[in-house]
């Protein structure tokens, strides 16, 4: 039995849940978890494996160079994005890259989603910005994603999809689901003429709540 069985089970369960929810389909998207107590090791989904056929043996353990520590398949083709976010954000423990319909539509339209719903600011940290396009699976895409994400929990990847983060897998899944719902509301309201942003003073207060929550997550007090 692998010493990382518990973490691999968590990644597998999350991958199947996202597939069930329709946030990822077929071979699209990827999920990773930073392993507690290990020196920069990551559990991550494989490349080229259909979600419906995933098993615990398919989840890989890689190091911060992208080298495989455990597993026989190739790690996700977007491993560079995951590794770069973990290096830039000490508060992030889990990352989901997904291709849900509405968030991807906003990404294809190159539309930043402004703060339009209270829970969006409190959970995600504000607007969902767009990482500029570059070829998939490259360090340039990873760098652009880190810039667009900044200190928030979601960023769109232009002509590609969305990346969301969290302090654990449940929060990352919730942030992914919330981001897709926000994208749907934004595009619908945008099509009706205008998406009204929250008042700036409310965004400031809710951003402060977000920052406090992030610190609690880091301190393990949530």
* Total domains present in the chain: 1
CB 99 within 8 A of CB 136: no
Structure tokens, 142: 């990873």
C-alpha closest to that of 210 among 146, 120, 101, 86: 120
Residues designated as active site: 78
CA 84 to chain centre: 13
Instruction: Tell me the pLDDT tens digit for each residue of 82-118.
Output: 999 999 999 999 999 999 999 999 999 999 999 999 9
CATH of the domain at 198: 3.40.225.10
Burial class (CB in 10 A: 0-12, 13-18, 19+), 161: buried
Task: Please report, in tens digits, the pLDDT of each residue of the chain (222 residues total).
Answer: 688 999 999 999 999 999 999 998 888 899 999 997 767 899 999 998 998 899 999 999 999 899 999 999 999 999 999 999 999 999 999 999 999 999 999 999 999 999 999 999 999 999 999 999 999 999 999 999 999 999 999 999 999 999 999 999 999 999 999 999 999 999 999 999 989 999 999 999 999 999 998 887 776 655
pLDDT at 168: 93
Structure tokens, 16: 């199947």
For residue 100, the enclosing domain spans: 5-219
Question: Tokens 């942030």 belong to which residue?
Answer: 175
Half-sphere exposure of 148 (CA within 13 A, CB side): 28
Structure tokens, 39: 């020196």
């Amino acid at each position: 039995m692998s010493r990382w069985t518990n973490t691999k089970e968590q990644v597998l369960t999350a991958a199947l849940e996202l597939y069930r929810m329709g946030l990822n389909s077929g071979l699209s998207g990827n999920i990773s978890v930073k392993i507690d107590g290990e020196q920069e090791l990551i559990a991550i989904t494989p490349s080229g494996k259909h979600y419906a056929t995933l098993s615990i043996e398919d989840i890989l353990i890689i190091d911060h160079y992208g080298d495989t520590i455990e597993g026989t398949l190739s790690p996700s083709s977007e491993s560079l994005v995951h590794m770069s976010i973990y290096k830039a954000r000490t508060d992030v423990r889990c990352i989901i890259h997904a291709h849900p319909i509405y968030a991807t539509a906003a990404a294809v339209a190159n539309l930043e989603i402004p703060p339009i719903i209270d829970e969006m600011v409190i959970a995600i940290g504000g607007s969902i910005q767009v990482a500029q396009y570059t070829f998939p699976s490259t360090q340039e895409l990873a760098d652009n994603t880190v810039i667009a994400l900044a200190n928030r929990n979601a960023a769109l990847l232009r002509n590609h999809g969305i990346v969301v983060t969290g302090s654990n897998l449940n929060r990352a899944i919730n942030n992914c689901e919330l981001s897709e719902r926000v994208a749907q509301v934004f595009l619908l309201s945008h099509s009706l003429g205008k998406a009204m942003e929250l008042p700036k003073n409310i965004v400031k207060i809710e951003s402060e709540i977000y920052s406090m929550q992030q610190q609690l997550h880091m301190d393990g007090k949530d």
